[in-house]
Structure 1
Amino acid sequence: MPSPIESYALLGDTHTAALVDRHGSLDWLCFPRFSSPACFAALLGTRENGHWLVGPAGGGECTSRSYRNGSLVLETRFETAGGAVTVIDFMPPRDQAPDVVRIVRGESGRVAMRSELRIRFDYGSIVPWVRRADGRISAVGGPDALCFDTPVEVHGEGMSSVAEFEVGAGDEIPFVLMWHPSHQSPPPAIDPFRALAETDAWWAEWSARLTYEGPWQEAVERSLIVLKALTYHPTGGIVAAPTTSIPEDLGGVRNWDYRYCWLRDATFTLDALVATGHTEEAIAWRDWLLRAVAGDPSKLQIMYGPRGERRLQEEELPWLPGYEGSAPVRIGNAASDQFQLDVYGEVIDSLHQGRKAGIEIDPNAWALECMLLEDLSERWRLPDEGIWEVRAERRHFTHSKVLAWVAFDRGVKAVERFGQHGPVEAWRAHRDAIRAEVLAHGWDDDRRSFVQSYGSKALDASLLILPLVGFLPASDERMASTVRAIERELVVDGLVRRYDPAEADDGLPGDEGAFLMCTFWLVDCLEQMGRIDEAHDLFERLLDLRNDLGLLAEQYDTKAGRLVGNYPQAFSHVSLVHSARNLEGDGEAVHRC
């Protein structure tokens, strides 16, 4: 059985990522990309579906663990009756050969250790052909191959490769696992200690660019490192999370594949990176966007693969029982075929934020914006599936219409503030028409609140974004009344739910946890409304939900007291960064133009 989500640490190399728990078990890893099939899938099944344990031979949980400052180099300390050891885990940033390095360092006494490597390609379904060649262990299955290097003796045991050894004070025993295509020769072995030094230096150089110096320095820095780890360096794409099918409802069916590049998630991530001094990622993502969406703007997708892939067919993996029995396990995502109106606004707003940050205007990017606005002119009156990707009938979601307003508003401002050229009068007319429609049909007089969709009585936490994007000031009584309604009806144990599934049909059975991003949005609204102490208290409550390494999932189960949903989640960490900046009190909301 996998560990609780909050037990896992993230390793990453800006191509893919791994999760390792407090016992030293690496239970999730996809090679060579985020969206590739997993070679360790114990996270969604059992250890028979693939894992790599490095820990004391007698078992046991770590006594302490932490990342090295400003990095994703993990140090996990184990103390036993015989002595103490530290396991150093990392993934070197790379150009070609992806690898995981684990170094066991003796601290005191002598400790019996065990490495248990159980490779199962294609999401735990393929037992590889394992052999020794040129002093290395090689595992091959279909298109994938892994080579395993270590100076200690390795033997076969129960369809896994096991090493049993002792370390004393000052000893350092390395293990390196490297992927390559099975039809090619293995890449040369690396020096693991040199790789460690280079990885430390790489992360130190990146983290040194951080411009945030506020009171939540540690939380903001850790969140930004997570966001950097979720970028796919070869193309500039940014994935929503490195996992699939971690349930929103433990034991339920709300299990989705997040290893893709949602335009919405990526734009939020870029806002956080640009605002804290990391403009290089914004330029790379802009270039990725231009390639990914090339062609007819009416065929704009809400998500793409890390390389810009468009076909993300959803399927189920029946051989995996799911995280804590939460089936089905899904790969691919059918929401890629949905129509979500808000994406237009988020993409165009992200490019607008880049202009505000001083990023040089790319004429190709502006041409794309003009094409998107032309397409939006014909489509903003249509119903859609909305930000929450409902698997029910399309509706006129209030949030979607507001983000369509954002798209035209940012187009107008590009002309007014930055000297761009476009049909600004037409854009102003659409902006005004959308605003009037939302105020007329997105508001419910009986509830004294904006509602999820036209004609609905349901509340929706996405409405909290209205003041954050400049649609209405937080001081507007309609907005203040909406916030109060959300606090009354969608807040559970101090945290915000997206909506009530019993009231707002999303086409799925079951329930879900509190949505952390929405709770950060409430922090931002409270701050703008002048309820500063409440905003600070709620922000600190959210910080307390992070695990010991500063990581957040998508949601929090208030009944179980556990993180749920895919992990770590870009949305949650982006919102943490935005709220931290808002609470500094510089007078300007992060999301506003």
Structure 2
Amino acid sequence: MKIRAGRTVPLRSYGVIGDGRTIALIAEDGGVDWLPVPGMDTTPVFARLLDAHDGGAIELAPVEDFTVSRRYIDGTNVLETTFTTASGVAVLTDALVTGIAGRLPWTEIARRVDGTSGSVRFRWRVAPGTCLSTASPWKQATTHGPVIRVDGVTIAVRGVEHGPRGGGDAAFAGSFTTEKGSRHVITVVGTSNEPLHLPDASNVDRGIDRTIENWQFWSREFSYDGPWSLDVHRSALALKLLIYSPTGAIAAAGTTSLPENPRGGKNWDYRFAWVRDVAYTLHALIRFGLREETHAAVAWLLTTIRQNGPELHIFYRLDGSLPSGVTKHDAPGWNGAGPVVTGNPARGQLQLGVYGDLFDVMRLYVSAGNVLDAETGRLLASVADRACDAWRQRDAGMWELEDEQHYTSSKMGCWQALDAAVELCERGQIPGDSARWSAEREHIREWIEANCWSEDMQSYVAYPGSDELDASVLLHGPSGFDRGDRMSSTIDALHQELGRGPLLYRYSGAEAEEGAFVACSFWLASALACVGRTEESVAQMEAMIALSNDVGIFSEMIDPDDLSFLGNLPQALSHLALVNAAITIEELAGLD
């Protein structure tokens, strides 16, 4: 295995590191192929993932052929890669460095190589890209050494025994040889439109150890000893990478434009915060005893809704503002499967399920022992009133489809919202008379039972009058809408039509357009537990957990034929579905 210009690696190859503001994707061959600076939603200065020739990367690998084994250091998001060659063994430790007080005010990726046995010659290269064909990088001399500038970003390289050897007018490069007991460190630092701190190389070495300690301290606060605890903890760490610490927002994924179909076309930007992801994340955060992240997510959501109201939006930017339009970039995309875009076209859609997502957040938060403020109570009361009317409208559904219909799962989401509103009112958390909410909740249930159930198919259908199926109804076993015979037979119908082994497609016809949806496959496990089919639920969980990559990361979709990853990664919804399925099975089946 060798680094080569323009190479494409499978999406399964990527491990992920982060610092609470941005993330880096690292391939098995040591290439950092994705790193936005300073935040994960900014235009990436290292983006070989989407532009093999001009995207930019941080390369580090042995000169001779090698094999690789990888792991995360226990309890951390620090990645360790062991390179074995004919001449020796060396271990690479990769960290996005954090400081004594938490996240650093600049981006600092540190790469430490320790010689284990024999000798291994390494080459490295730091080559910022064209920011998706919008800027040209150039190297500039300064009194403290050269830097590279591109589109407001300033990049510098520091190191310990890293053997710098120039690199030309738009890159840094060098080489070194490890011996048993040797240590070499390469550090890439960057800022955007602000001065650049140049760290002392020896401090960076200590910073890697400090970052390991910081992650392990966080993990010690993590509380979960139920089934699949190692997998749940790894997914929690993956989710932590997607929590944008400056605001508390939770990104749906860390990348844009990775195709849901290997031929391209269905390429979206998921570096936004969906209300639904906040709802699902909160369930996990509360269960894990992570108070700070829980409150930060709730506070961000409520502040953002107030600032951009009165209507709910389905997602927001990580800074809490509303998304703008979609920009298409002149870049080839992963493996040539374009387009490459920033922005998401679903921003203006009506999705009624967002009402259920919001109220689920608030009910969980209160159930965990917290109290809502008066302004939030009034806000929620007004949203409940709107849900009483809005549920009768057609919408785009959870899957953000262009075909607006009376989607079954959207109506179930409105039922969930009003069910939670009634409970919150009875607890004295939101003002008003809940009689209307209670009555309308029952009207929704009656409407769903009369219009969205097919006797012939013995299943809830995607929308009235349709013979199509929609896996998102599985969410409403855990929501409490249906944990009986109808949900059980719907599970069977969904598995028969949409299932491929343990994997499940999102809806009828999706197989022709995209891979199987990881989250749906874990939702199936949750729904099975909700209807009392525990053995099947456990088997489904075991089969799905086995489909992660070698370091426990999931993308959005998996191709059932060859199990290759598709879509953006790491995908919050995939890891959330794993976590919440484990919690649901533990709570309902009493497993340990």
TM-score clears 0.5 = yes
- Structure 1 letter corresponding to 2:16: L
Contact 1:304–1:312 (CA<8 Å) still a contact in 2?
no
- Displacement of 1:42: 0.9
Change (3 A) 1:350 1:316: same
CA drift at 1:435:
1.0
One-letter identity of the residue aligned with 2:313: Q
- Distance (Å, rounded) in 2 between the aligned partners of 1:189 and 1:502: 50
Measured in 2, the distance between the counterparts of 1:581 and 1:219 equals 12
- Does 2:356 align with 1:354? no
Contact kept in structure 2, 1:247 and 1:565, CA below 8 Å: yes
Alignment of structure 1 residues 234-383 onto 2, 5 Å? 234-295=246-307, 297-318=309-330, 320-383=331-394
Residue 439 (structure 1) aligns with: 449
Shift in alpha-carbon separation, 1:108–1:562, aligned structure 2, 3 A: same
Work out the CA distance in 2 between the residues paired with 1:370 and 1:588: 36
- State how far apart, in whole Å, the 2-side matches of 1:367 and 1:52 are: 50
Tell me the alpha carbon deviations over residues 398-446 of structure 1, each in whole angstroms, 9 at most, x when there is no partner: 1001001111110100122355422211111111111111111111233
Instruction: Structure 2 unaligned segments of length 5 or more: list them.
Output: 1-6
Query: Of residues 72, 84, 92 in structure 2, which corresponds to 1:87?
Result: 92
Give 1:550 shift: 0.6
Asked if the contact 1:101–1:175 (Cα under 8 Å) also holds between the matched residues in 2, the reply is yes
SS of the residue 1:452 aligns to: coil
Measured in 2, the distance between the counterparts of 1:538 and 1:444 equals 26
1:493 is aligned to: 501
State how far apart, in whole Å, the 1-side matches of 2:270 and 2:457 are: 35
Is the 1:34–1:306 contact (alpha carbons within 8 Å) kept by the matching residues of 2? no
Equivalent residues of 2:106, 2:196 under 8 A apart: no
1:76 aligns with 2:81: yes
How much does 1:586 deviate?
4.5
Counterpart for residue 4 of structure 2: none
3-state SS of 1:87 partner:
strand
1:189 lines up with 2:212 in the alignment: no
Partners of 1:447 and 1:54 in 2: CA distance:
55
Amino acid at match of 1:17: I
- 1:383 to 1:86, Cα distance in 2 relative to 1, 3 A: same
| Partner residue in 2 for 1:424 | 434
Distance 2:552 2:17 in 1: 13
Name the residue aligned to 1:55: 61
Secondary structure of 2:427's partner? Answer: helix
Confirm or deny: 8 A CA contact 1:297 1:372 kept in the other structure.
no
Q: Distance in 1 between matches of 2:430 and 2:167?
A: 66
- State how many pairs are aligned: 577
Which AA in structure 2 matches 1:145? Answer: T
CA distance in 2, matches of 1:317, 1:455: 40
TM-score by length of 2: 0.94
Counterpart among 218, 229, 250 of residue 230 in structure 2: 218
Which residue of structure 1 lines up, in the alignment, with residue 485 of structure 2? 477
Question: Aligned residue for 1:15?
Answer: 21
Amino acid at match of 1:72: N
- State the distance in 1 between where 2:474 and 2:122 align: 51
State the identity %: 33
Q: Tell me which residue corresponds to 2:159.
A: 150
Tell me the distance in 1 between the aligned counterparts of 2:214 and 2:575.
22
Alignment match, 2:110: 101
* Alignment partner, residue 546 of structure 2: 544
Q: CA deviation at 1:480?
A: 2.0
Change (3 A) 1:50 1:276: same
Contact 2:371 2:429 survives alignment (8 Å): no
Q: Match of 1:202?
A: 214
Does residue 529 of structure 2 align to residue 523 of structure 1?
A: no
Q: Structure 1 counterpart of 2:522, which letter? A: F
1:439 aligns to what SS in structure 2? helix
User: Contact conserved, 1:53 with 1:115, CA < 8 A, in 2?
Assistant: yes
* Offset of residue 552 of structure 1: 0.7
CA distance in 2: counterparts of 1:351 and 1:405, whole angstroms: 15
Distance in structure 2 (CA, Å) of the matches to 1:444 and 1:199? 55
TM-score (norm 1): 0.93
Which residue of 1 is the match for residue 125 of structure 2?
116
SS at match of 1:277: coil
Whether the 8 Å CA contact 1:297–1:375 is kept in 2: the answer is no
Which residue in 2 is equivalent to 1:507? none
Q: SS of the residue aligned with 2:121?
A: strand
Distance 1:79 1:419 in 2: 60
CA deviation vs aligned residue, 1:318-342 (integer Å, no higher than 9, x gap):
2x21112211111111111111110
Question: What is aligned with 2:45?
Answer: 39
- 1:562 Cα shift? 0.9
Aligned partners of 1:223 and 1:574 also within 8 Å = yes
Superposed CA offset, 1:77-100 (max 9, x none):
111122111111011232411221
* SS across alignment from 2:478: coil
State the shift of 1:112 in Å. Answer: 0.9
